[in-house]
């Protein structure tokens, strides 16, 4: 055939002939099928077919004349120009020789799948698309569930016309492409019956931080177009690539999306697809199993490795997948290079910090990691996009490519619907804008003219604050930062910020707190899940049932969520050491969790009451502690994150430490087995005074300077009346630190500090370095400044050693 190429005759080098999308499909179909990648077969019309279509109908001069002198920033003129060109191209005649070849190719494809009216997707593929510095994703149209040769021909004409959508014209002008040198190829591909199952988008890189060791997967019921458009909030998951390659099952985390609607086939040939509501019970379940997530991640790694070999460098990929509801098979239906993070300078870190939090108007999924302030502009319909003024915050239901001509002038973007791979998210990243998607009802909550701050710098949740909130932007050139002998670690509480924190030079995590994960990701007392029938509050029981609906049991929910929180942190800093402290809630804090008041005692002074090690072996809590142990085994043994070490807080006497280790061993966490190290928080004066007895039980100490100061000075750190006395720089506290370090060094055991003191006081950090501490664990925002200080101190110490007395 002159104008047709089947996928088995295409390779990535054929971009000038069939565009990036179709060349990529051919590349995978030919080269990756043997590696288990399933790509539905199809064919593409060539660039020559497009030019033949224009010449046959005498359209080239009219197109060039219409575009001449067009100001793409004049939204109305752009719309008139685009509408005229699309109408002209879509209603032209198909050349007889091209029509004959398309019908023959469709018939051949239908015979291959033994379906007379084979359902196909008709997609656009521009010959200049998916270049390293320009992603043409979504610029042209896609037509789904097209059946019969006549409808395929009609769809191809509309695909040709879509080269002149408003956003495509504007995009080419912005990127410097000559309109008359970009051709369009139509890709005709056998449909996967994901209308009966699910579909989605995945990236072989984290879309927010550029973290390269994770595959990010989104999924929703029905055809995948709803995710791309941002019409639904999908399920999300991360899978860790290094331990996946080693044979583990490292699903790092899962987030349940709303998935309120799904796109399915309709019986009408004229309107072949439709959206229908998803039943509530299905919304409350994940639409992919863990095994399916692992299978998709495995495919993503194969695809990334293949394209990286072709590119001669690591090439992160943006991939669309679909699950067939009849066969249960997972298919890859598109793959293109990821263009945002691939172009970033990884040696330059830009970090936004909100200095003050105000009244929160609404929240959603954060995109972009930045902060912006501006006047809100609520626009509910694309026909009014010309109303947006430069520097305003666009508030809308969702965006599609029609909005792109004005998105670039916005300060930030906020949408009601969509997930982190929807159109608004992808374009915001490309434009370098902060965006908050999936807020639910931003267009009803925020008013045009309202001054707001959009913050995407606080983790996976993005916040819209009323008024202008102050913020700062830090810039760090990594090439200028040296590496001290003293290990500089981090205190990391929030799993959803771990990927971004890991980009800061570090030696691992000195403190990861389970309490943060329990409080934010679970919110339920473990005993309330173990003894659900004992809960008397009906409203609390209903909340617990809703929160745990997607899991095999309430207990499974607790274990899985705890494991996921730790796994995200451990993966971010892999293979560096990550020290996880087992739960250290006080009784009043546990009581605040759902169901907690039913299981917690009232204590006058919880700070020195039923907390830490004393809980773990007690009859009232040891079953709950067993769940923590199960979660840690899941992280180490199933997900393969053996860089996780464990730490026991508030151990009053050595016998308590022994009892806790016995409990842990019952649940498969034996100290020394498979490299497991178990440390103790050194935070009670008794821990320092009897250091050798405690070090007989544990692998080392991590000093908790907050509690150690409190108990050394006899100061309630929560009391403002004596707050002026609480100071880690007091000599008795420094003496305690010195003794603890000396004991561990004498026994050749680990000694670090994870308390607040080195973050707050540079002189304490200097003291610790001089005493020879192995590691200092700091709040992330203090790491760079303290690293520079430690390097200076180490240099001074080395000079003193070199100069003779």
pLDDT above 90 (res 223):
yes
Tokens 């947006």 belong to: 388
- pLDDT tens digits for 393-416? 999 999 887 787 788 899 999 999
Q: Which two tokens stand for residue 699?
A: 């692998």
| pLDDT for the residue 662 | 98
How many Cβ atoms sit within 10 Å of the Cβ of residue 780? 20
Tokens 């290990």 belong to: 487
pLDDT band (50, 70, 90) for residue 126: confident
Sheet holding 119-126, edge to edge: 4-6, 42-45, 184-190, 119-126, 142-147
Q: Which residues, including other chains, have CB under 8 Å from residue 324's CB and lie 6 or more apart? A: 192, 193, 194, 196, 197, 330, 331
| pLDDT for the residue 343 | 65
pLDDT above 90 (res 134):
no
E strands, 46-139, are: 119-126
Task: Give dist(CA 444, CA 226) in Å, integer.
Answer: 22
pLDDT above 60 (res 138):
no
Q: Which residues, including other chains, have CB under 8 Å from residue 245's CB and lie 6 or more apart? A: 301
| pLDDT for the residue 783 | 86
Task: Give dist(CA 223, CA 121) in Å, integer.
Answer: 11
* Share of the chain residues as helix, strand and coil, in percent rounded to the nearest 5: 45, 20, 35
- How many degrees, rounded to 5, is the angle at CA 394 between CA 374 and CA 406? 110
Mean pLDDT of the chain: 92
Average pLDDT over residues 417-443: 89
Q: Which two tokens stand for residue 752?
A: 């670090």
Task: Give dist(CA 581, CA 564) in Å, integer.
Answer: 15
Average pLDDT over residues 651-662: 98
Task: Give dist(CA 702, CA 755) in Å, integer.
Answer: 9
**CA dist list (Å): 440 to 139, 174, 671:** 26, 32, 47
pLDDT above 50 (res 658):
yes
- pLDDT tens digits for 674-708? 999 999 999 999 999 999 999 999 999 999 998 99
- pLDDT tens digits for 494-547? 998 999 999 889 999 999 999 999 999 999 999 999 999 999 999 999 999 999
Q: Is 196 exposed, middle or buried (0-12, 13-18, 19+ CB in 10 A)?
A: middle
- pLDDT tens digits for 314-330? 999 999 999 999 999 99
**CA dist list (Å): 251 to 232, 310, 565:** 23, 28, 11
How many Cβ atoms sit within 10 Å of the Cβ of residue 665? 13
Task: Give dist(CA 392, CA 450) in Å, integer.
Answer: 10
Q: Which residues, including other chains, have CB under 8 Å from residue 757's CB and lie 6 or more apart? A: 705, 706, 709, 728, 729, 764
Say which range, 1-10, 372-381, 612-621, 778-787, has the weakest mean pLDDT: 778-787
| pLDDT for the residue 363 | 95
| pLDDT for the residue 379 | 96
Verify whether residue 754 is a known catalytic residue: yes
Task: Give dist(CA 74, CA 405) in Å, integer.
Answer: 9
**CA dist list (Å): 5 to 86, 106, 334, 415:** 25, 12, 17, 40
Contact 211, 528 (CB under 8 A): no
Q: Which two tokens stand for residue 240?
A: 């860790």
What own/partner pairs with CB < 8 Å and gap ≥ 24 does 27-30 have?
Answer: 27/306, 28/303, 28/306, 28/332, 28/335
Q: Which residues, including other chains, have CB under 8 Å from residue 171's CB and lie 6 or more apart? A: 136, 139, 404
pLDDT above 90 (res 719):
no
Tokens 């046959």 belong to: 56
pLDDT above 70 (res 269):
yes
- Of 251, 203, 220, 195, the C-alpha closest to 419 is 220
Verify whether residue 287 is a known catalytic residue: no
pLDDT band (50, 70, 90) for residue 240: very high
pLDDT band (50, 70, 90) for residue 587: very high
- pLDDT tens digits for 158-216? 999 999 988 888 888 877 788 888 899 999 999 999 999 999 999 999 998 899 999 99
pLDDT above 80 (res 800):
no
| pLDDT for the residue 538 | 93
| pLDDT for the residue 443 | 96
Four-residue CA torsion sign, 113, 116, 120, 124 = positive
Q: Which residues, including other chains, have CB under 8 Å from residue 632's CB and lie 6 or more apart? A: 563, 566, 580, 644, 646, 669
| pLDDT for the residue 232 | 94
pLDDT above 60 (res 136):
no
Contact 524, 553 (CB under 8 A): no
| pLDDT for the residue 342 | 64
DSSP, res 717: T
pLDDT above 60 (res 130):
no
Q: Which residues, including other chains, have CB under 8 Å from residue 726's CB and lie 6 or more apart? A: 709, 710, 713, 715, 717
Q: At 264, which helix (H) or strand (E)?
A: strand 261-265
Contact 378, 466 (CB under 8 A): no
- Of 376, 369, 406, 352, the C-alpha closest to 468 is 376
Tokens 């267009």 belong to: 443
Average pLDDT over residues 255-265: 96
- pLDDT tens digits for 542-576? 999 999 999 999 999 999 999 999 999 999 999 99
**CA dist list (Å): 319 to 296, 344, 426, 435, 602:** 10, 20, 13, 22, 54
**CA dist list (Å): 760 to 82, 560, 727, 782:** 59, 35, 10, 8
pLDDT above 70 (res 344):
no
Catalytic residue among 81, 423, 525, 629: 423
Task: Give dist(CA 160, CA 143) in Å, integer.
Answer: 12
**CA dist list (Å): 521 to 219, 284, 509:** 20, 16, 20
Q: Which two tokens stand for residue 530?
A: 């173990």
Average pLDDT over residues 82-89: 95
Bond preceding residue 575 cis, omega within 30 of 0:
yes
Q: Is 242 exposed, middle or buried (0-12, 13-18, 19+ CB in 10 A)?
A: middle
Question: Which letter, b or e, does each residue of 267-300 get, where b requires 16 or more Cβ atoms within 10 Å of its Cβ?
Answer: eeeeebbbbeebeeeebbebbbeeebbbbbbbbb
| pLDDT for the residue 140 | 64
How many Cβ atoms sit within 10 Å of the Cβ of residue 420? 27
Task: Give dist(CA 788, CA 306) in Å, integer.
Answer: 40
Say which range, 105-109, 299-303, 400-404, 714-718, has the weakest mean pLDDT: 400-404
Tokens 């003050």 belong to: 356
């Amino acid at each position: 055939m002159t104008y047709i190429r089947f996928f088995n005759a295409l390779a990535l080098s054929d971009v000038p002939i069939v565009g990036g999308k179709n060349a990529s499909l051919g590349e995978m179909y030919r080269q990756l099928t043997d590696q288990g990648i399933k790509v539905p077969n199809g064919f593409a019309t060539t660039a020559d077919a497009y030019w033949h279509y224009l010449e046959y109908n005498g359209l080239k001069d009219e197109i060039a004349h219409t575009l001449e002198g067009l100001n793409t920033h004049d939204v109305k003129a752009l719309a008139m120009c685009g509408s005229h060109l699309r109408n002209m191209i879509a209603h032209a005649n198909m050349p007889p020789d091209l029509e004959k070849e398309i019908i023959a190719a469709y018939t051949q494809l239908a015979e291959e799948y033994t379906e007379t009216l084979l359902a196909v997707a008709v997609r656009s593929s521009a010959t200049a698309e998916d270049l390293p510095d320009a992603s043409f994703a979504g610029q042209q149209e896609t037509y789904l569930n097209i059946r019969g040769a006549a409808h395929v021909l009609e769809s191809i004409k509309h695909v040709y016309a879509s080269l002149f959508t408003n956003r495509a014209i504007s995009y080419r002008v912005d990127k410097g492409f000559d309109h008359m040198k970009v051709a369009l190829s139509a890709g005709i591909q056998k449909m996967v019956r994901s209308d009966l199952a699910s579909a989605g988008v995945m990236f072989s890189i984290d879309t927010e931080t550029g973290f390269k060791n994770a595959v990010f997967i989104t999924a929703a019921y029905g055809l995948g177009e709803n995710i791309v458009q941002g019409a639904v909030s999908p399920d999300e998951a991360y899978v860790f690539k290094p331990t996946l390659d080693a044979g583990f099952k490292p699903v790092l985390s899962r987030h349940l999306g709303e998935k309120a609607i799904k796109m399915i086939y309709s019986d009408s040939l004229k309107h072949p697809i439709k959206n229908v509501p998803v039943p509530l019970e299905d919304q409350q379940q994940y639409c992919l199993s863990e095994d399916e997530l692992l299978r998709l991640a495995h495919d993503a790694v194969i695809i990334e490795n293949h394209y990286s070999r072709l590119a001669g460098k690591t090439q992160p990929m943006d991939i669309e997948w679909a699950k067939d509801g009849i066969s249960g098979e997972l298919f890859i239906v598109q793959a293109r290079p990821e263009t945002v993070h691939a172009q970033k300078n990884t040696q330059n870190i830009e970090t936004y910090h909100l200095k003050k939090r105000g009244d929160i108007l609404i929240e959603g999924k954060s995109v972009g990691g930045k902060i912006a302030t501006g006047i809100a502009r609520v626009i509910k319909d694309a026909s009014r996009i010309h109303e947006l003024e430069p520097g305003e915050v666009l508030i809308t239901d969702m965006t599609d490519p029609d909005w792109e001509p004005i998105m670039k002038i916005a300060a930030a973007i906020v949408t009601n619907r969509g997930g982190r791979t929807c159109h608004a998210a992808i374009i915001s990243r490309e434009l370098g804008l902060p965006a908050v998607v999936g807020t639910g009802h931003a267009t009803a909550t925020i008013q045009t003219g309202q001054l707001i701050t959009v913050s995407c710098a606080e983790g996976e949740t993005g916040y819209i604050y009323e008024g202008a909130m102050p913020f700062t932007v830090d810039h760090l050139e990594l090439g200028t930062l040296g590496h001290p002998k003293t290990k500089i670690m981090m205190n990391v509480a929030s799993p959803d910020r771990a990927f971004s924190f890991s980009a800061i030079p570090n030696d691992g995590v000195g403190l990861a707190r389970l309490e943060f994960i329990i409080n934010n990701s679970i919110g339920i007392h473990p005993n309330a899940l173990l003894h659900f029938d004992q809960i008397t509050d009906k409203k609390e029981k209903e909340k617990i049932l809703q929160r745990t609906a997607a899991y095999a049991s309430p207990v499974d929910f607790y274990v899985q969520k705890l494991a996921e929180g730790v796994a995200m942190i451990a993966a971010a800093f892999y293979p560096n050491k990550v020290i996880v402290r087992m739960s250290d809630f006080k009784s009043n804090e546990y009581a605040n969790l759902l169901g907690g008041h039913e299981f917690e005692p009232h204590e006058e002074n919880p700070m020195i009451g039923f907390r830490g090690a004393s809980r773990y072996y007690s009859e009232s809590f040891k079953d709950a502690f067993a769940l923590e142990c199960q979660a840690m085994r899941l992280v180490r043994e199933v997900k393969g994150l053996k860089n996780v070490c464990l730490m026991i807080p508030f151990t009053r006497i050595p016998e308590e430490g022994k009892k806790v280790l016995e409990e842990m061993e019952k649940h498969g966490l034996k100290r020394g087995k498979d490299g497991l190290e178990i440390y103790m928080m050194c935070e009670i004066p008794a821990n320092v005074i009897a250091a050798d007895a405690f070090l007989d039980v544990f692998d080392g100490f991590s000093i908790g300077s907050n509690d150690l100061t409190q108990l050394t000075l006899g100061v309630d750190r929560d009391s403002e009346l004596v707050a002026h006395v609480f100071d880690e720089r007091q000599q008795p506290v420094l003496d305690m630190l010195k003794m603890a370090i000396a004991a561990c060094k004498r026994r050749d055991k680990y000694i670090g500090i994870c308390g607040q003191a080195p973050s707050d006081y540079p002189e304490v950090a200097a003291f610790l370095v001089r005493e020879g501490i192995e590691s200092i664990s700091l709040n992330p925002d203090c790491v760079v400044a303290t690293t520079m200080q430690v390097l200076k101190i180490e240099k001074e110490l080395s000079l003193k050693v070199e100069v003779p007395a």
